[in-house]
Amino acid sequence: MIALKLTDIKSFMNQLLCSDTFDHFLLSEASITKDATFTIDGHINAAFYSEEEREEAGLSGLAILPYSKLRSVCYQLIRGRQTPLFFKFVLMLSPQNTANVLARSGSSYLPSDISGIFINIIFQNGTLHLTTGISYTVFSTDRGLEHEWNLLIKKFLTKHAIPYDEY
């Protein structure tokens, strides 16, 4: 796990809410506190879609909605004259991207050993933070996957000109 302070909040928020920069992630959950607290559970409600609709929307095999499907909702909740008091976005890799990171890391983990590979974006007290994390279904002392994920996030931020400071 790494913890980073995102130093250009306005630019980052523009990329998070108004561009496709984070669209390849899934939105596990979001919480936005303004005059009220709004909570989004990104888990797909299976009863909402027919199997054909899920397939057409590219949701087959997913338990969590892509961030791209919820980005406009998040934007509508955050936008306005006043800055939110708090927000938290928990983004995770899709099963395919999880498999890609596993292969790239050279670790001994199997996709079934991983519940999720995450980034957490938290705005609180005027500061924006990003942390990484991995949820495992098995115990191991192998931290190769975590190191690879941390490096990939730093490369991702650099590629998208998102400045940060390390703690």
Q: Which of 162, 130, 118 is nearest to 8 (CA)?
A: 162
Tell me how far apart the alpha carbons of residues 66 and 58 are, in angstroms, rounded to a whole number.
Answer: 9
Tell me how far apart the alpha carbons of residues 135 and 86 are, in angstroms, rounded to a whole number.
Answer: 24
Reduce the secondary structure of 93-130 to three states and give it as a string.
Answer: CCHHHHHHHHHHHCCCCCHHHEEEEEEEEEEECCEEEE
Confidence (pLDDT) at 72: 97
Confidence (pLDDT) at 142: 79
Tell which wins on pLDDT, 78 or 46: 78
Confidence (pLDDT) at 68: 97
In contact, 127 and 8? CB cutoff 8 Å: no
To the question of pTM greater than 0.75 for the whole model, the response is yes
Whether 144 shows a pLDDT value over 90: the answer reads no
Across 20-24, 99-103, 123-127, least confident range: 99-103
3-state secondary structure of 47: helix
pLDDT digits (tens, 9 = 90+) for 109-118: 999 999 999 9
Confidence (pLDDT) at 140: 82
Per the prediction, the chain carries an average pLDDT of 95
Average pLDDT over residues 100-127: 93
Average pLDDT over residues 116-128: 97
Tokens of 109: 């983990």
